[in-house]
Structures are given as C-alpha cells and as structure tokens.
Homo-oligomer: A and B are copies of this chain.
Amino acid sequence: MAKIPVLADVTSANNELADELRAELARRGILTLNLIASPGAGKTTLLERTIAALAGELRLAVVEGDLATSLDAERIVQAGAPAVQINTGGGCHLEAQMVRQALKQIDLDQTDVLVIENVGNLVCPTGWDLGEDAKVVVASLPEGDDKPLKYPSAFATAQAVVVNKIDLEPYLPARAETMRANALRINGSLAVFAVSCATGAGLEGWLDWLRGRVREKRAAHQRAAQASAHA
C-alpha cells in the first residue's frame, strides 16, 4: 500500500509560521505579547488603561481575537491605538496565520508594542504560538484564587500574570495574595501584578514590567543591528 503522508503534529505548521512572525517582529524591534484570559477577566480594559498610561511614550497596536463582534477593537481604537479585529467564528483560540493576516492592516513602522488579545479561554490558546515574545495571563479575582491550580497550563507557559479586579476583594471569598501564591506554585518565575483596572490601583508595576520588556527588546535589536553592520 502506498505510504500516506501524515501531519505528525497539528500545530507544527502553526509553529513554523509563528517563528517567521517572531523573526519579522524582532527585525523591527517590536515587543509582542500574547494576552490570555477567561472571558471577561479584563483583557481589553487592561489594554485601555495601558494605552492611556503610555500615550506619548510607547506606541501600542492591538490584534483582537473574538468569536464574534468587533466590540473589543472598537474600544481599543477609542482608547487611542490602532486595532484589527479577528472573528474566529467558533474557533477557541487564535492561530499564527490569523495574526499574519491581521498584521497586514497594521503599520508596524509606527508600533513599539504589539499586543495580541486572544479569544477569552484559559485552556486552548496556551498551545498555539502566535510569534509572541511572552504570554501574559489576566486572572480575574472573582473567578476564585484557586484558578492557577485548576488551569495550570496557561500559568506554566506565561511570563507574567495580572491579577485583576482587586477592588472587589472586600466582597469576595478570594484573596489576591492567595492567587499570587498559587500562580507561583505553578510557575516560580512569573511576574505577578495585583491590579484593579476599574480604579487604576497597582497598574504602575505592570507598566514598569512592560517598559522593562521594551528596553530589553530594543537592546537586543540594537545588538543585532550592530552585529549585522560589523559582519
């Protein structure tokens, strides 16, 4: 019988494309984040706050992933950053090919930080590389402080966690400190920020982390440019 070619890893084609995107974005010195969270954890609100706080300092651009509607992209544009909406139909996560399409609509020469806001889902996006430098999880305190233990893969693969809605802590059984400790049990190298995107509390730590990642990215970009000039 003739040998049938089998695609061994359904994500391998995606990963190849993600590596190409990462190389292209690195060549331009753009920091790229893949924002992962449950529905309604506050990804878009965090971005609205971040865009406003960094206006005039860093230029953000946003790729928005949703099953349906362009509500989130509209909010980002309203906040002052360019945004492209991807509707996945029923798809539970973004894929690198969708991001590649979306980037055609973004002026990358005018972008310092690209944020890809994934579909609201704490499970599926984890396994799909989008060419990002880092995954960031937004975890909403009302979801309960045990979430890192119950959805470990998102936390295990991220570099940072933003614990959001801490303004609700007085009315909840959940504690931000417990969520932080549980996140660190899953991944001890996580940067964890407890914030309220409603009040603005705690955002400075997150913004400083972001600034630090941009500085690192620019330094790496400069080293690469010098190496190529000396070559």
Contacts and interface: CB of A to CB of B under 8 A. Distances in A.
Interface of A: 1-2, 4, 38-41, 66-69, 71-72, 90, 92, 119-124, 126-127, 140, 142-144, 146-147, 149-153, 165, 167-168, 171-173, 198
A39 B122 contact: yes
Nearest to A149: B69
A92 B38 contact: no
Contact of A142 (B1, B92, B123, B168): B168
B68 A143 contact: no
B38 A120 contact: yes
B67 A150 contact: yes
B165 A142 contact: yes
Nearest to A123: B92
Given A39-B38, A120-B38, A124-B92, A66 B171 contact: no
B2 A142 contact: no
A113 to B, nearest CB: 24
A208 to B, nearest CB: 27
Given A40-B38, A120-B122, A168-B168, A146 B90 contact: no
Given A68-B149, A90-B126, 9 more contacts: A1-B2, A71-B146, A71-B149, A90-B123, A120-B151, A121-B124, A140-B142, A168-B171, A168-B172
A164 to B, nearest CB: 10
A90 B154 CA distance: 10
Contacts of A147: 39-40
Contact of A150 (B120, B126, B140, B153): B120
A122 to B, nearest CB: 5
A120 B147 CA distance: 10
Contact of A90 (B127, B168, B172): B127
B121 A122 contact: yes
Contacts of A142: 40, 140, 142, 165, 168
Contacts of A2: 1-2
Contacts of A92: 92, 121, 123-124
A158 B167 CA distance: 32
